């Protein structure tokens, strides 16, 4: 079964270092492991190509840089049409599109070929674009979204809030399902042996943007380190603390300035290739997902699953989907969002109680392997597609652009 994977968003390079790029690569890997050959159709290829994906066929239609938001929107729509034409010419048995603004590529392919379509929705992009950037043709964006949602055999949303956002775009909400993100549990593994460490490292991986709460993490880590120092009666905490922040983004300069206000060892690694993430995780003693309060909590954070897979004790804000993944004091510690004191207390607890650290880490790893490996996640998606295909056959596919052929999913595990 040949898969046409579409990613028309110029902000998501297929071979990049961002979480969205990792997401694309892992879904592609999961298809390929099922003996389902994949061709990617995208607007931005990227240059950080993993060794195991060097042979991945990629068709690229770049979006020309422009200062005009309206021109950019039209350029994306044009690229989407061109990519759809290429996929139709190449032929495919399954279309998988990562939902992007101003793309109707999967709908165009479905109409032309009758191939079943999986539409993956990671965020309410229209709302995001309107709030955080510039959205000129909102009516057009909404019309395009309605078209791709209606054409999809299955719409896969990463969280229930995202699914709630998608439902008004279709008269057939039964097409919509929620499947959270995952992790490659063979790539990210706990260290083979517990190394003798001379310090306690708090770690964070992610883009440095306001809604990731890294400022709260810096203040909380400084507070926890100060408390550890006071408890030890020494001039320096024993063991010494450090905070390692992996990633880059628009808040980096401000966060560096904030960190300079504290007598704390803080390392900013900048953006790193996905291949380096496992070794960096292996250097953490505890991992943080310190989301603040007052944000739209519709995400399914990849970092959370990476922390779990690495066998790390996780301290995370109790927001959005996180409490459905982390059970407090079992697979991690949950704290109120934006609560610097509670976060500091939780970090201090993990530092002081090595048995707790080991117990949480083992439970985290077991959860990742059992429930959140990408192979399992993609298996759930394909199961939903198979069920939807059968339902469409029974119902006569009344609300599709074209009758969808029966789907045989090969290589199911």
Query: In this structure, are 166 and 62 located in the same domain?
Result: yes
- 8 Å CB contact between 152 and 381: no
State how far Cα 373 lies from the chain centre: 13
Find the domain containing 16 and state its range: 3-182+374-395
Query: In this structure, are 363 and 229 located in the same domain?
Result: yes
Query: In this structure, are 83 and 126 located in the same domain?
Result: yes
Hey, what are 27's tokens?
A: 């879904």
Question: CATH code at 318?
Answer: 3.40.50.2000
Residues 71-80 have a mean pLDDT of 98
Query: In this structure, are 211 and 262 located in the same domain?
Result: yes
Residue whose C-alpha is closest to residue 121's, from 184, 165, 66: 165
Within-domain flag for 402 = no
Query: In this structure, are 204 and 173 located in the same domain?
Result: no
Instruction: Count how many domains the chain has.
Output: 2
Within-domain flag for 187 = no
Query: In this structure, are 282 and 238 located in the same domain?
Result: yes
Calculate what percentage of the chain has a pLDDT beyond 70. 91
Within-domain flag for 150 = yes
| Last residue of one domain, picked from the residues 356, 371, 386 | 371
Residues 250-273 have a mean pLDDT of 96
Within-domain flag for 191 = no
Query: In this structure, are 206 and 310 located in the same domain?
Result: yes
Query: In this structure, are 286 and 379 located in the same domain?
Result: no
206-245 pLDDT tens trace: 999 988 999 999 999 999 999 998 887 665 556 789 999 9
Q: State how far the Cα of 94 lies from the Cα of 96, in Å rounded to an integer.
A: 7
Within-domain flag for 227 = yes
52-68 pLDDT tens trace: 999 999 999 999 999 99
90-114 pLDDT tens trace: 999 999 999 999 999 999 999 999 9
The pTM for the full model equals 0.89
Query: In this structure, are 121 and 212 located in the same domain?
Result: no
Hey, what are 55's tokens?
A: 């042979």
Within-domain flag for 405 = no
Within-domain flag for 154 = yes
193 torsion bin: left (phi>0), alpha (psi -120 to 50), beta (else) = beta
Specify the 3-state DSSP secondary structure of 97: strand
Query: In this structure, are 162 and 268 located in the same domain?
Result: no
Query: In this structure, are 25 and 164 located in the same domain?
Result: yes
Q: What integer pLDDT is reported at residue 221 of this predicted model?
A: 98
Q: State how far the Cα of 319 lies from the Cα of 334, in Å rounded to an integer.
A: 9
Within-domain flag for 282 = yes
Query: In this structure, are 286 and 169 located in the same domain?
Result: no
């Amino acid at each position: 079964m040949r898969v046409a994977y579409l990613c028309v968003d110029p902000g998501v390079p297929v071979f990049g270092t961002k979480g969205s790029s990792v997401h694309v690569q892992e879904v592609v890997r999961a298809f390929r492991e099922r003996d389902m050959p994949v061709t990617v159709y995208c607007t931005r290829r990227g240059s950080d190509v993993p060794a195991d994906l060097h042979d991945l066929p990629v068709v690229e239609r770049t979006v020309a840089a422009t200062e005009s938001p309206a021109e950019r929107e039209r350029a994306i729509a044009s690229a989407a049409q061109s990519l759809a034409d290429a996929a139709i010419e190449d032929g495919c048995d399954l279309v998988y599109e990562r939902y992007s603004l101003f793309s109707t590529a999967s709908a165009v392919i479905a109409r032309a070929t009758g191939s079943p379509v999986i539409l993956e929705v990671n965020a309410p992009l229209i709302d995001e674009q309107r709030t955080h950037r510039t959205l000129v043709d909102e009516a057009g964006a909404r019309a395009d979204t309605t078209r791709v949602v209606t054409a999809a055999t299955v719409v896969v949303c990463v969280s229930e809030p995202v699914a709630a956002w998608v439902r008004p775009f279709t008269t057939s909400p039964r097409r919509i399902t929620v499947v959270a993100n995952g992790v490659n549990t063979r790539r990210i593994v706990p260290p083979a042996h517990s190394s003798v460490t001379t310090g306690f490292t708090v770690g964070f991986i992610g883009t440095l943007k306001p809604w990731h709460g890294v400022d709260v993490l810096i203040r909380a880590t400084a507070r926890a380190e100060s408390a550890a120092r006071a408890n030890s009666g020494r001039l320096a905490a024993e063991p010494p603390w450090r905070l390692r922040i992996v990633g880059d983004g628009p808040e980096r300069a401000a966060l560096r300035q904030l960190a300079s206000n504290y007598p704390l060892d803080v390392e900013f690694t900048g953006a790193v290739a996905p291949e380096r993430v496992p070794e960096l995780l292996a250097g953490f003693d505890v991992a943080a997902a310190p989301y603040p309060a007052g944000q739209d909590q519709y995400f399914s954070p990849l970092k959370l699953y990476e922390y779990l897979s690495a066998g790390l004790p996780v301290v995370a804000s109790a927001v959005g989907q996180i409490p459905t993944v982390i059970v407090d004091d079992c697979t991690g510690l949950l704290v109120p969002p934006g609560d610097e004191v509670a976060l500091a207390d939780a970090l201090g607890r993990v530092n002081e109680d090595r048995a707790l650290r080991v117990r949480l880490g083992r439970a985290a790893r077991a959860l990742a392997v059992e429930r959140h490996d990408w192979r399992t996640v993609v298996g759930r998606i394909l199961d939903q597609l198979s069920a939807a295909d059968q339902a469409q056959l029974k119902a006569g596919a009344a609300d599709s652009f074209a009758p969808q052929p029966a789907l045989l999913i090969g290589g199911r595990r």
